[in-house]
Structure 1
Amino acid sequence: MSEPLPWYKHFWPWFIVVLLLGVIIKSLVALNIAIDNADSLVSDDYYKEGKAINMDLRKIKQAKNLGMQFLVKVEEHQLIITQHGGPQYKAALQVSFIHPTLEDKDFNVNATADGTGAYRIALSNAITGPWNVRLEGFDNSWRIQQRVVINDDVEYWLN
């Protein structure tokens, strides 16, 4: 009678070990991807943000009561914002472009009016696609906020 082979010389134990190692490696890769791409949309302090939303609603109502209306023209590497309604506003504007999903694309600018009353903002890159646009008076007394889908050389009314 022949001596039985030791376990490590059989095919099936190695087959099972390789399968288990493959699953472990794939799990570690998936964990690494999940950690690197953490969701930035979840708020840590949702209660304070909820209270801030109520303040924002008052500012939006104030802008509607004043009849504030702005025209935003998007050129290749420039935004031109002009006022067409409400009391003439000459102070600086706080302009925010907020991307719906990619936080690193968001940008805020304090814009001042030129001699013609237009607010011109130079852009480093052309912007296209969906954006939440927010215009706010420098004194924080009113706010206009609207979602637009931006294409080059198109005008958008914010009111």
Structure 2
Amino acid sequence: MTDTEMPDPLQMANLGIQHAIPVVHRMGVRFVEVRPGFAAAEVPFEDNGNHFGVMYAGVLFTVAEVLGGAIGITTFDSAKYFPLVKDLRINFRRPARSTVRASTSLAPEAVSAITAAADAHGKADFTLVAEIVDAEGTVVATTEGLYQLRTHGS
């Protein structure tokens, strides 16, 4: 990569985890797809199991929670805004015994409304609903997170 080339958003998101949240990186969480309004991450089962042979609940929570940061960075101007999590609820549905994938999205209309509110008030709340599926496509958990987009300096 030359000095004038920018890393792609997927590479930036994965480097962000590695450097900003090392514990998440050590779990093996990695983004597999990021674009404006969409993010997906995976985490392997290996080394993330619990005492009864299924994926540890905290790992499932983590792979869904980090989606808010990826959406925030790839959807909004990171020179002007930053995201943070305010609340996240998880509904465990089935045990996970394989790699899992979490994904979420924001509609373009929501992005416009969030941006306008953040510009007007210095911050704007938004909700992300994520689905976590195992290697067979079975939904193992769902989350609903309340995030906030803030302008730098607010």
Is the TM value for this pair above 0.5?
Answer: no
Q: Highest Rg: 1 or 2? A: 1
User: Normalised by the size of structure 2, how large is the TM-score?
Assistant: 0.25
